[in-house]
Structure 1
Amino acid sequence: MSSAFDTTLNNLGINRTTNSAPTASKGSTSLGQADFLKLMTAQLKNQDPFSPVDNTQMVAQMAQFSSLAGITDMNTTLKAISDKLSGTSASDALAYVGRTVLTEGKVAYGRTSGGIAGAVELDGAATDVTVTIENANGQVLTTQQLGAQPKGTVNYDWDGKTDGGADAGPGPFKVTVTAANAGTSVGSRGLVWSPVAAVSMPASGSPVLTLPGLGQVPISAVRQIG
């Protein structure tokens, strides 16, 4: 059964939104800016002429209305700014094509000059950080000992020579990273550089980059652009 408050609102032409599902036990209610104005107007029309609304109360109500309008406009503006900052336009995304990006991955292709560059993300300080590079057949080509490193990102650069001094070729190479602090494992991720082959723009969400050896990678996963 509707409450007296609901009845009053209905008489004024204001309908509170309710959940129409038959199984719902409780509906949501909301009064917007237009509803607030209707209530205030109705109050003025139906006031007792021998006891009109006090000027102080009227000013307070107008201040509330002004505050509500300001907050509504501010929320709309902030939402628009947020969408702009978090969004990426088609032209921005297409600018990635032909560039190289640093992102999480385990496959890397050799540079024209030979070897690869990459990085390791550490969740904490480590006394031992190791990068192992293998060929496509799983044969270990080299092991890079980066030593003790603080929490954060540490870069490395491999010249493309195996531990035996031979030329490792253009790849692809499999890159594995491990980190430990005095024998205790430390969370880590390997980052590799990869050229952007294509960009796709889904109907919703962030643009997606196509990276050789890594597949589809969201643009939000890019750490750095080369």
Structure 2
Amino acid sequence: MSLINQMSQTSSQVTQTKNQPNTVSTNNTKTSTNSTGNPFLDGLRLPSNSAVPEAKSQQLTQEDFFSLLSQQLSMQDPFKPVDNDQMIAQMASFSTVDGISKLNDQIVNLNSVMTSSQALQASGLVGRKVLLPTDTGYISAESPGLNGVISTSEKIPVINIRIEDEKGQVVRTFTVDGSKGGNTDVKWDGLNDKGEPVAAGNYSIKASGLVNDKSQALAVSTYGHVTSVSLGTAATGAILNLKGGMAFKLSDVLAITEV
């Protein structure tokens, strides 16, 4: 006789037994319900208690398991008793499943604690500038310049820089020295080709250079000003909110500047 194979059927029988209404004799019993003496009016009264049963969980618990186990042992065939090894294996399997369920709950709580802790640590970045893997940065009257880093795998003597606004229009062009290779700093003072300050907004730094005698776009990272931190989720972690409306994960930060 297998306990695991019969748990569903026995549980259904137990549930049906629990849901059967109890029959109580009302002979010679006085009720405290107020009566008008008119059977018709008394029949229109609303019941004092709700007839809708409370919703109960359909998931079997460890108490239900041992209750079904006791019932099975009491109803076993004397000529075909339950195999002790099989019963112990079933009990061990149920304990394992129950342990995994509790472990999942603990992991969820641990993720929540780690997310809150990460957000608390990230709050120290508020008011600072961080290097992020994007070529777009925000220009304003308080922060009129835009700095970034150009990453190259080879030495490029001349790197061409284009500054584009949100509409993709070029507002400034200049060159930087990339003869050392690797990471090359690039700084823009926030002025257009006419030497006039540009309007506040998001601007992109586009870099290109000759690689094997062919013009190639180069990877650019820019610094952004952190204004606030959001909790995010366990999958994303803390979210850094930047001036200009952009947002990045804390794990995307490449470098942090001084205050």
TM-score (norm 2): 0.52
1:43 aligns with 2:81: no
What is the rounded CA distance, in whole Å, between the counterparts of 1:184 and 1:37 in structure 2? 75
Q: 2:176 aligns with which of 125, 128, 144?
A: 144
TM alignment of 1:6-155, pairs within 5 A = 7-13=9-15, 33-34=61-62, 36-86=65-115, 91-103=120-132, 104-109=134-139, 116-120=146-150, 130=159, 132-134=161-163, 138-144=170-176, 146=178, 154-155=183-184
Q: 1:191 aligns with which of 212, 221, 224?
A: 221
Question: Counterpart of 1:57 in 2: which secondary structure?
Answer: helix
What is the rounded CA distance, in whole Å, between the counterparts of 2:148 and 2:228 in structure 1? 21
Contact 1:135-1:171 within 8 A present in 2 as well = no
TM-aligned CA deviation for residue 99 of structure 1 = 1.3
AA partner of residue 174 (structure 2): T
2:207 equivalent in structure 1: 177
Aligned-pair RMSD on alpha carbons? 4.8
Q: Check 1:67–1:7 CA distance in 2 against 1; reply closer, same or farther (3 A cut).
A: closer
Q: Check 1:177–1:159 CA distance in 2 against 1; reply closer, same or farther (3 A cut).
A: closer
What is the rounded CA distance, in whole Å, between the counterparts of 1:167 and 1:119 in structure 2? 23
TM-aligned CA deviation for residue 102 of structure 1 = 1.8
TM-aligned CA deviation for residue 193 of structure 1 = 0.9
Cα-to-partner distance string for 1:85-114 (whole Å, 9 max, x where unaligned): 45566644543321112222423559x9x9
TM-aligned CA deviation for residue 143 of structure 1 = 2.2
Q: Check 1:32–1:86 CA distance in 2 against 1; reply closer, same or farther (3 A cut).
A: farther
Q: Check 1:36–1:142 CA distance in 2 against 1; reply closer, same or farther (3 A cut).
A: farther
Aligned sequence identity (%): 22
Larger radius of gyration: 2
TM-score (norm 1): 0.58
Q: Check 1:222–1:63 CA distance in 2 against 1; reply closer, same or farther (3 A cut).
A: same
What is the rounded CA distance, in whole Å, between the counterparts of 2:93 and 2:233 in structure 1? 40
TM-aligned CA deviation for residue 217 of structure 1 = 1.1
What is the rounded CA distance, in whole Å, between the counterparts of 1:37 and 1:126 in structure 2? 70
Q: What are the ranges of 5 or more consecutive residues in structure 1 without an aligned counterpart?
A: 15-29
Contact 2:162-2:205 within 8 A present in 1 as well = yes
Q: What are the ranges of 5 or more consecutive residues in structure 2 without an aligned counterpart?
A: 1-5, 17-57
AA partner of residue 170 (structure 2): G
Q: Check 1:31–1:88 CA distance in 2 against 1; reply closer, same or farther (3 A cut).
A: same
What is the rounded CA distance, in whole Å, between the counterparts of 1:66 and 1:6 in structure 2? 17
Contact 2:190-2:198 within 8 A present in 1 as well = no
TM alignment of 1:195-206, pairs within 5 A = 195-199=225-229
